[in-house]
Amino acid sequence: MKKLFFIALIVLFSAEPLLCCTTFFIHKNGQFAFGRNYDWITDAGMVCSNLRGLSKTSIKMPEGSSVDWVSKYGSITFNQYGKEFPNGGMNEMGLVVEMMWLDGSQYPKPDKRPSMFVLQWIQYQLDNCASVKEVIATNKKIRISTKGNAPVHYLIADASGDAATIEFLGGRLVVHRGTNLPLPVLANTAYATSSKLADVEVSPDEFGNLPASHSYSDNSVRRFAHACSMVKKYQQSDIGSSIVDYSFQILDKVNQSEFTKWSIVYDLNNKTVYFKSARFPDIKSLSFSDIDLSCNSKAVSFDMNQPSSGNVGKLLAPFSDELNLSIMRTAVSESRSQVPLTEEHVKNSVAYASAIRCSIN
């Protein structure tokens, strides 16, 4: 089953570089928010809780060994192609990890460290780390496989206000953090390149929705520049909007028309996630206080595409293989041109998540 599932992942991330997004971290007066637009060709997805105390083994990649761990922290994630393989999320300690496409990424050459899949790397960090510093330190323990992975980079932040970009360039880990990260914003161009080009790409006052583009990377620096300018404006000006409301304003400005499927804002201080989908644009919220993350409890989920607004804690349903299967089938069907997965691939993904158990049982 694991071998067949690995083949499915290879197929999934052999698609054209369309998994592109815009992310940013904004802070003011001790308030921290993280925003993310997910741009793709299907909006099928679910919000999932992930319990602490679960025993896990990473999927076997074509090079290197797998790694075992027990999740230290519970998390809330956004999943499209199967539970345990999130597009991004936040854990109960306030750590946020989000991924974007980056052409030219080169992962470190194989060594003694276990290797991981780029999506499972996200879940591993949310399961094991409470801070940006701890995420960076895991580079000594695990690596992302050079084979079977899409070229991506990450923006991460934690509840202390620390933030960093995680990139793999020239076969090595490249981190921007602290004074090397004056504005924590990331799109689909390497951070250093974006920073150099942003000043000449768009003026600070040139706002307005960006047009859809055949290649998302065509307007990556423009999106980066828009987000940087708005983040800077909020931090330096007296703007009446709350940090969450303003974060959604930024996401609206870098919206890529029909390709932006989800908009997500993480409130790190209050451990609350706000989100909306293109089909159901009313903003929903979900707090960690709404969820039992203990190992012997039942994971819960929420289909992102259903009519609702405000706090959806009472609308959460027990997570099930049936929902996982349904979401994956829809996502695969709607992205068939880019993600030619078979029904067998989908079922193997569902079976992988279903086999994970509480470590104390």
pLDDT tens profile 180-237: 999 999 999 999 999 988 864 444 444 344 444 434 446 899 999 999 999 999 999 9
Instruction: Report the 3 state secondary structure along the chain.
Output: CHHHHHHHHHHHCCCCCCCEEEEEEEEECCEEEEEEEEECCCCCCEEEEECCCEEEECCCCCCCCCCEEECCCCEEEEECCCCCCCCEEEECCCCEEEEEECCCCCCCCCCCCCEECHHHHHHHHHHHCCCHHHHHHHHHCCEECCCCCCCEEEEEECCCCCEEEEEEECCEEEEEEHHHCCCCEECCCCHHHHHHHHHHHCCCCCCCCCCCCCCHHHHHHHHHHHHHHHHHHHHHCCCCCCHHHHHHHHHHHCCCHHHEEEEEEEECCCCEEEEEECCCCCCEEEEHHHCCCCCCCCCEEEECCCCCCEECHHHCEECCHHHHHHHHHHHHHHCCCCCCCCHHHHHHHHHHHHCCEECCC
Is the pLDDT reported for residue 178 higher than 90?
yes
Q: Please tell me the predicted confidence (pLDDT) of residue 360.
A: 81
Q: How confident is the model at residue 11 (pLDDT cuts 50, 70, 90)?
A: low
Q: Please tell me the predicted confidence (pLDDT) of residue 13.
A: 56
**Residue 283 is which amino acid?**
I
pLDDT tens profile 290-340: 999 999 999 999 999 999 999 999 999 999 999 999 999 999 899 888 777
Contact 194, 220 (CB under 8 A): yes
- How many percent of the chain have pLDDT more than 70? 89
Q: Please tell me the predicted confidence (pLDDT) of residue 215.
A: 44
Q: Please tell me the predicted confidence (pLDDT) of residue 211.
A: 45
pLDDT tens profile 221-260: 999 999 999 999 999 999 999 999 999 999 999 999 889 9
Residue 46 CB coordination number (10 Å): 23
Q: Please tell me the predicted confidence (pLDDT) of residue 338.
A: 76
Q: Please tell me the predicted confidence (pLDDT) of residue 212.
A: 45
pLDDT tens profile 62-83: 899 999 999 999 999 999 999 9
Q: Looking up tokens 């319990």, which residue turns up?
A: 51
Is the pLDDT reported for residue 1 higher than 50?
no
Report the C-alpha dihedral over residues 328, 346, 79, 13, rounded to 10 degrees.
Answer: -110
Query: pTM of this prediction?
Result: 0.93
Task: Let me know if domain 2-358 sits in CATH 3.60.60.10.
Answer: yes
- How many percent of the chain have pLDDT more than 90? 79
Is the pLDDT reported for residue 55 higher than 80?
yes
Q: Mean per-residue pLDDT for 151-166?
A: 97
